[in-house]
Amino acid sequence: MKNKGVKMTASTAVVRMISYFCVTVFSLLCLLPFLLMVSASFSNEGVINREGFGLLPKGFTMTAYSWVFRYPKMILGSYGVTILMTVCGTIIGLFLIAMTGYALQRQDFPLRNVLSFFIYFTTLFTAGMAPTYIWVSRYLNLKGSYMAVFLQLLMTPWLIILMKNFAKSVPYEITESGKMDGADDFKIFTALILPMLKPALATVGLFLALGYWNEWYNSMLYLGSAVTYKPLQYYLYNIVNTAAQLKNSMAGAAITITDLPTNTLKMATAVVATGPIIFLYPFVQRYFITGITIGAVKG
């Protein structure tokens, strides 16, 4: 506000100062755990075991990272699986979600409400963990298959509703003009609507990608130790939670647990598993903001 004629009152100045102060403090608190993690990953295991983690690396060393990549097949394999799933899942899921979202908002589609509710109902009532687990592992026979992870993250009702709300803002005249030219609905969608949905695709795509990248739950349930290359976050989960697993995951190498810098290795693995998200994040975060402001209340 450029209105310099209005003098800032003392109370306004105080409110501003408090605001700057609190926002700064909260921002620092949000960063602090990450800083602690990174500094821990560069610390010397022996010093850490004596003195504990601190804000700055203790006895700066890259040992933990050299352990992460000591048997590069494991971590790189995990990276490969996660990247492949993220890319394929995002592209396929995005296309299917956009197609459904567009069809479900078409005013001239008589089944739109029935189908919307059919999809939405799955958020109201769920079978629960155990019946789902039995169904997927025993009847779909997907236990130990990457498909159990890949397929279940492909769509969520929330993302379809989000896409539907986005698609509503595309004027109906565009669909009509396509109809006039004799195109069928699928052609209208791919040729006319999809290019206009770019911001929506970015937002929904990012939520999908984040879901795949951060996936650990389905991996834990359905993959367990059945696969060699675990999705990245599940790999991290294993490194963090079980020392025995840690040994196994080092490709069965003949090492004793005492050799391993367990504490710092956990942190280095965490940094490696999270790094790409943190670096990409500042560039993509604005799409998440559009997503939540459009989809939050009505979602």
Partner 1 sequence: MNVKGRKQELTIKPYKKPLGKVIRDNKVLMLMCLPAVLFFIIFAYCPMPGVYIAFTNYNFRDGIFGSPFVGFKNFEFLLKSGQLWLLTRNTIFYNLSFILLGNFLQITLAIMVNEIRCNWFKKVSQTIMFLPYFISAVLIGVLAFNILNYDTGALNTLIRETGGNPVKIYSMAGIWPFVIILCNIWQQTGYGSIVYFASICGIDSQIVEAAEVDGATSLQRIRYIILPSLKPTFIILMLFALGGIMKGNFGLFYNLIGPANSQLFPSTDIIETFVFRTMMNQNNFATSSAVGLYQSLFGFLLVMFSNWVVKKIDPDYALF
| Alpha carbon distance 261, 148 (integer Å) | 34
CA distances for 169 relative to 27, 173, 188, 200, angstroms = 35, 11, 16, 10
Give residues with Cβ within 8 angstroms of 215, minimum separation 6: 82, 85, 149, 153, 231, 233, 234
For partner 1, the closer CB: 197 or 236? 236
For partner 1, the closer CB: 122 or 228? 122
Nearest CA among 238, 289, 234 for reference residue 265: 238
Minimum separation from the CB atom of position 15 to partner 1 (A): 4
Minimum separation from the CB atom of position 55 to partner 1 (A): 7
Minimum separation from the CB atom of position 6 to partner 1 (A): 5
For partner 1, the closer CB: 73 or 138? 138
For partner 1, the closer CB: 245 or 263? 263
DSSP 57: -
Tell me the H-state helices in 106-152: 112-124, 129-134, 146-152
Minimum separation from the CB atom of position 23 to partner 1 (A): 5
| Alpha carbon distance 271, 265 (integer Å) | 10
CB-based burial label for 90 (10 Å; 0-12, 13-18, 19+): buried
Minimum separation from the CB atom of position 185 to partner 1 (A): 4
For partner 1, the closer CB: 136 or 250? 136
DSSP 9: P
